[in-house]
Amino acid sequence: LSPQDIEQDADSALGTGCQGVVQAGIHKPTGMRVAIKTVKVDNREKRTQMLHEIRGLIQAAGCPYLVQWYAGFVAKEASLVHVVMELMDRGSLADMRRRLDGQGVPAERLACVAAQMVRGLEHLQTRRLLHRDVKPDNVLHNLLGQVKLTDFGISKDLNSTVGVAGTFVGTASYMSPERSLGKDYSFRSDVWSAGMVVYELATARFPFSTTSFMELYEALCNAPEPRLDVESFPAELCDFVEQCLTRDEPRRPDARALVDHPLIAPQGEEEIRALGVWVATHPD
Ligand code: ATP
Ligand code: MG
Q: Which residue type occupies 182?
A: G
**pLDDT digit string (tens) for 93-114?**
999 999 999 999 999 999 999 9
pTM of the predicted model as reported, rounded to 2 decimal places:
0.92
Asked if residue 18 has its Cβ within 6 Å of ligand 1, the reply is yes
Helices 93-100, 187-203: axis angle to 10 degrees equals 20
Q: Which atom of ligand 1 is nearest to the CA of 170?
A: 3
The catalytically annotated residue of 5, 89, 101, 133 is 133
Q: Where does the pLDDT of residue 161 fall: very low under 50, low under 70, confident under 90, or very high at 90 and above?
A: very low
Closest-CA residue, ligand 1 atom 11, reads: 17
Q: How remote is the CA of residue 229 from the centroid of ligand 1, in Å?
A: 31
Residue from 14, 21, 34 to probe ligand 1 pocket by mutation (most atoms less than 8 Å from CB)? 14
Helices 187-203, 235-244: axis angle to 10 degrees equals 140
Residues 6+ apart with CB under 8 A from 45: none
Q: How remote is the CA of residue 137 from the centroid of ligand 2, in Å?
A: 6
Q: How remote is the CA of residue 148 from the centroid of ligand 1, in Å?
A: 12
Question: Residue 233, Cα to own-chain centre: how many angstroms?
Answer: 23
Closest-CA residue, ligand 1 atom 31, reads: 91
**pLDDT digit string (tens) for 17-70?**
877 889 999 999 999 999 999 988 888 888 888 888 888 778 666 899 999 989
Query: So what's the pLDDT on residue 257?
Result: 98
Highest mean pLDDT among 11-20, 162-171, 252-261: 252-261
Provide DSSP, the chain. --GGGEEEEEEEEEEE-SSEEEEEEEETTTTEEEEEEEEE---HHHHHHHHHHHHHHHHT---TTBPPEEEEEE-SSSSEEEEEEE--TT-BHHHHHHHHTTPPPPHHHHHHHHHHHHHHHHHHHHTT------SGGGEEE-TT--EEE-S-SS-GGGS-SB-TTS-B-SSS----HHHHTTPPP-HHHHHHHHHHHHHHHHHTS-SS--SSHHHHHHHHHHSPPP---TTTS-HHHHHHHHHHT-SSGGGS--HHHHTTSTTTTT--HHHHHHHHHHHHTS--
Q: How remote is the CA of residue 22 from the centroid of ligand 2, in Å?
A: 9
Q: Cα–Cα distance between 157 and 4 in angstroms, integer?
A: 29
Mean pLDDT of the chain: 89
Query: So what's the pLDDT on residue 160?
Result: 43
Instruction: Choose among 209, 212, 215, 210: nearest CA to 168.
Output: 212
Is-catalytic flag, 284?
no
Pick the ligand that lies closest to the CA of residue 39.
Answer: 1
Query: Which residue would you say has higher pLDDT here, 256 or 46?
Result: 256
Asked if residue 94 has its Cβ within 6 Å of ligand 1, the reply is yes
Asked if residue 15 has its Cβ within 6 Å of ligand 1, the reply is yes
Asked if residue 244 has its Cβ within 6 Å of ligand 1, the reply is no
Q: Where does the pLDDT of residue 209 fall: very low under 50, low under 70, confident under 90, or very high at 90 and above?
A: confident
Q: Cα–Cα distance between 139 and 151 in angstroms, integer?
A: 9
**223 pLDDT exceeds 50?**
yes
Closest-CA residue, ligand 1 atom 30, reads: 91
Q: How remote is the CA of residue 230 from the centroid of ligand 2, in Å?
A: 32
Assembly ipTM = 0.96
